[in-house]
Amino acid sequence: MTQPPLQLDGIFPPIPTSFDDEGSVSARSICLHIENLNKFDLRGYVVLGSNGESVLLTEEEKLSVFEYARDVIPQEKLMIAGVGCESTAQTLTLAKKSAEIGANAVLVITPSYYKNRMTAEALNVHFRTVADACPVPVVVYNMPACTGIDLNAETVAALAEHPNIIGIKDSGGNIIKIGQIIRLTSTDFQVLAGSASFLLPALSVGAVGGILALANIAPAECLAIRKHFMDGDLEKARELQIRMIPVNNAITREGGVPALKAAMDMLGHQGGPVRQPLLPLSDEEKHHLRKVLQDGGVL
């Protein structure tokens, strides 16, 4: 069995991008959040994924966030840079620049604006073109809730044949499809669960870890689910997985980035404001979120 060029096994928080009260990127808050998470045995970080509000940042801001994060991410932990843009050329430019800054791999989401033309062939060409010229490994990002595009197992298996495409973050939550991907790909292609809501089921069919928004506020719990699974203690893994589902739903499916940042504020971390057109949670939403965090034992 050949080993992939980069081992992705473990838990990665997709960190939010912190802004100050004037709406500018806050280097201090980003660094403080990462430094707090460095206390945990995380495999690394995703910088500028969906939770990083990447689509709302300029290229200059994106590069600055990569630089701030890389400065405080220990060398033994991976930095995966979210570089997906609507055009292939833009994606590749950002991928190369992030690699120069120190990204160990890049996360590339499916282009989606012209979604009716994003056929399997178009997406295959897009990802392969990026992977051909990218100086670091590529991780495919399947996020149908945001893009309206859901990569099927056959398309992913075709992409997995490229030597520089080493894995996928799948946020669709279809465990049958995740199992099919693992069945159709070689053992060195790595699948990461894209949400803590299905971390344990994904691990059970062969995922190596997860890129989990929940790991920003409950890193110990996310790590424990995987550790219990790896240790063969499925009952403890199941109990913790079930307890975390409402918490995860509150900061992803229900409230999204505003809820994640509000939860971080409630925990005394560096959440802060969101960037428009996103709006902060209402007082009623915050009250609901606080109760969910308390019921889940996170707050």
Nearest to 287 by CA among 262, 252, 264: 262
Whether 11 contacts 216, CB under 8 Å: no
DSSP 144-177: HHHHS----HHHHHHHHTSTTEEEEEE-S--HHH
Calculate helix-pair angle for 234-249, 219-231, nearest 10 degrees: 150
Q: Select which of 62, 169, 177, 261 is catalytic.
A: 169
177 is catalytic: no
* Triad 22, 260, 94: Cα angle to 5°: 65
* Triad 22, 58, 54: Cα angle to 5°: 90
* Triad 164, 86, 68: Cα angle to 5°: 70
User: What letter does residue 251 receive in the DSSP assignment?
Assistant: I
Residue 6: CB atoms within 10 Å = 16
3-state secondary structure of 77: coil
Residue 34 class from Cβ within 10 Å (0-12 exposed, 13-18 middle, 19+ buried)? buried
Catalytic residues: 169
